[in-house]
Chains A and B, each alone.
Chain A
C-alpha cells in the first residue's frame, strides 16, 4: 500500500466521478429546468453503451461508433419527450415516476429484443490501449485517462453552451422562471424537447465512454440511475456545480470505500448522502 497505489485509486475515483457527473448533469438539467423526475435516465446510459457496442462492431472503429451513436440518442431522446413526457408537465411528479418507470420496462425489453441477454465487451480503441508507467510495477491505462479528459472537454463545452450561447441563456431563464420565458415568446415546448434530448444524451455519452472499461450487459443502467440520483440530491437539485461536486464526492467515496472498508463498501455512498442531507436537507448547492 504505497503512495502510487493511492494515486491509482485517486485517478479511478476521479474518472468514476467524471462519468457520474455526465449522467448526473443530464439528470439535474432535466429536473431543474423541466421539473421532470426521469427514472428512465439510466436506460439512456444503457442505450449509449449498447449503441457504442453495436456501431463499434459494425464499423470496427470505436470513434465512428460513438459519432454514429450520439445522433441516434439525440433523436431517441427527442422522440421520447414529444411522444410521452410532454403530456406530463402539468401533472403530479408521481405520474412522471410511473410513466418513466414504464419507459424503463420498454427500453429493457427493446434491448433484449435487439441485442439479447448476453454480456458484451467493447475493445479499447487501439491508439489508447497502452498504459502509463507510474512506478516499476504500477501502471495506469491510458484509456481511463482519456475518459477523464473527454469528460472535462464535455463539461467545458456544456459550461460554454449554458453560459455563453443563446440556447444556454434560454435554458437558464427557463430554469428560473418558466412562465416568464414563455410569455417572452420563446417556444418552451421546443426548448424542453431540446433540453431533454441533450440531457439524456449526456447519460448516453457516459455509457458510451464507459463501455470499453465496463462490460455491456442488461440492466447496466439501473445501478447508474440510483447512484446519479444520489449525486444530484447531494449536490442540490438543478445545480450543475452541485452535480460536479456531488459526483466527485461519490466517485471518491465509492472507490476508497471499496479499498478501505470492503465489507460495507456499497453502503458508504448512501451513508454519505444521508449524512449530507441530515446536515443540509436541500443538498450542498440547493436553493431553499
Chain B
C-alpha cells in the first residue's frame, strides 16, 4: 500500500480547499469545466482500482460509465422529475449487475486477453445502444430535468443551480476517494494489492483469487456507473460515445499519466488532460500534436506519472536523503512498489 506522505496530504487538502473556494471567484465556464473534470476523476479513480491495485487492465471501463448514464436516461427519459434516491439505486444496481456479468466472464482470461475481452464487451454495449432505436440510437437520449434530492418532501439541494451541482459532484469525488482508501486499507485491499504483485502466491496462501478480482471489478464498475450517472445528470444527455473505446482509452491515459496505484494520481491526471484539452487550442489549431507530444514526454521522462513526480519533488524538498534515494532507484516499477517500501 502506498502511504500519503505529509507534504502530499497537505497538497491534497489545499487542492480540495481550492476546489471548495473556486466557485466564489471563478467564471461559470470554469465551474462547468471543473464539474466535468471531477466527474472524470471519479471515473479514473475507479479504473485505478483495477489497473493500479488489482492488476486488471480493463480497456472497456467506459461500458460502465455509459451504463450508469443510460440507466438514468432510460428510466427517466419521459419523467417530469427525477427522484435522486430512486435513480441512485437503479444506477448502482444496474452497473453492478453488468459489471458482475462482464467481470465473471472476463476474469477467466488474463493479460492481453483480459484487455481484449473487456474491450469486446464495451464495444458490444456501444453498438447495442448505437443501433437500438428504442434507446435513442446514435442520437442518444435527452433528459429534461436534474435529479431532485428529496428528504420527505423537502428538497435538500437544488441541482438546477450549477454551483450546487458543483459542490454535489465535489462531495461525490471526495466520498469516492475516501471509500476507496478505506477499502484499500481493509484486509480486502491488501489481498488485491498482493494479487497484483504475485497472483500465484496469493492463491497458494488459500485466497479465492478469482472472487477477489471479481469483487474488485464490480466495485470499480459500480463507481464508474456513478460517474456516468453524474455526467448524464450534468450534461442532460447520453450518447453511445459514452461507451466508445475512445472514452476507455482516454480514461486509461488519465490513470497512467496521473500515476496509477495512487488514488490521487488519476485525479491529477484528469485535471491535466482536460485543462490541456481546453488550453492548447488557444495556441494552435493543431493542438492534438502538442497533446501527443506531451503524453510521449510524460511516458519517456516521468515513468511514474504526475504522482511519481510529486513524490519525488516532496521527498527532495521535505524528507531525508534516504527516502529520496528510494524514490529514485527502481526505474520502471509502478508507483505502488517504491511507495510501499517507504511505508515499511
Contact = CB atoms under 8 A, between A and B. Distances in A.
Interface of A: 31, 37, 39, 84, 87-88, 90-95, 97-99, 101-106, 108-110, 112-113, 222, 226, 229-230, 233, 237, 263-267, 270-271, 273-274, 277-278, 281-283, 286
Contacts of A108: 288
A224 B231 CA distance: 29
B257 A273 contact: no
Nearest to A225: B245
A270 B124 contact: yes
- Top 6 nearest A-B pairs (CB, nearest first) are A106-B292, A102-B295, A105-B292, A266-B127, A109-B288, A233-B116
A84 B120 contact: no
17 contacts: A87-B300, A93-B57, A97-B256, A101-B249, A101-B295, A102-B296, A102-B299, A103-B292, A106-B289, A113-B286, A229-B116, A237-B112, A263-B131, A263-B132, A278-B108, A282-B109, A286-B113
| Interface hub of B116, B252, B260 (most chain A Cβ within 10 A) | B116
B117 A277 contact: yes
A102 B131 contact: no
Interface string B22-64: 0000000000000000000000000000010000010000000
B8 interface: no
A57 B299 CA distance: 38
A104 B299 CA distance: 15
B127 A282 contact: no
B113 A277 contact: yes
B15 interface: no
Given A88-B299, A277-B113, A281-B108, A94 B51 contact: yes
A288 B120 CA distance: 21
Nearest to A37: B112
Nearest to B260: A94
Interface in B104-126: 105, 108-110, 112-113, 115-117, 119-121, 123-124
Given A95-B303, A281-B108, A233 B113 contact: yes
A219 B131 CA distance: 20
A101 to B, nearest CB: 6
B98 to A, nearest CB: 14
Given A84-B296, A99-B299, A267 B286 contact: no
B236 interface: no
Contacts of A274: 105, 117, 120-121, 124
B260 to A, nearest CB: 7
Centre residue among B245, B292, B295 by max chain A CB count within 10 A: B292
Contacts of B246: 222
A161 B292 CA distance: 35
A278 B237 CA distance: 34
Interface of B: 51, 57, 105, 108-110, 112-113, 115-117, 119-121, 123-124, 127-128, 130-132, 245-246, 249, 252-253, 256-257, 260, 286-289, 291-293, 295-296, 298-300, 303, 332, 334
B119 A229 contact: yes
A35 to B, nearest CB: 10
B124 A271 contact: yes
Interface of B: prevailing SS:
helix
Given A109-B286, A113-B286, 7 more contacts: A93-B57, A98-B257, A101-B253, A106-B288, A106-B289, A233-B117, A281-B109
B288 A226 contact: no
A90 B333 CA distance: 10
Contacts of A105: 288-289, 291-292, 295
B101 to A, nearest CB: 11
Contact of A95 (B289, B291, B299): B299
Nearest to A282: B113
Contacts of B303: 91, 95
Contacts of B132: 263
A91 B123 CA distance: 28
A233 B109 CA distance: 11
Nearest to B126: A266
Contacts of B131: 263-267
B293 A277 contact: no
A95 B256 contact: yes
Contacts of A99: 295-296, 299-300
Contacts of A94: 51, 57, 252, 256, 260
Contacts of B128: 264, 267
A180 B119 CA distance: 34
Contacts of B117: 233, 273-274, 277
B299 A98 contact: yes
Contacts of A112: 286
A266 B130 contact: yes
A34 to B, nearest CB: 13
A98 B305 CA distance: 11
A283 B124 CA distance: 19
Contacts of A264: 127-128, 131
Q: Give the most central of A92, A102, A271: most B CB within 10 Å.
A: A102
A281 B106 CA distance: 9
A92 B130 CA distance: 34
A53 B105 CA distance: 43
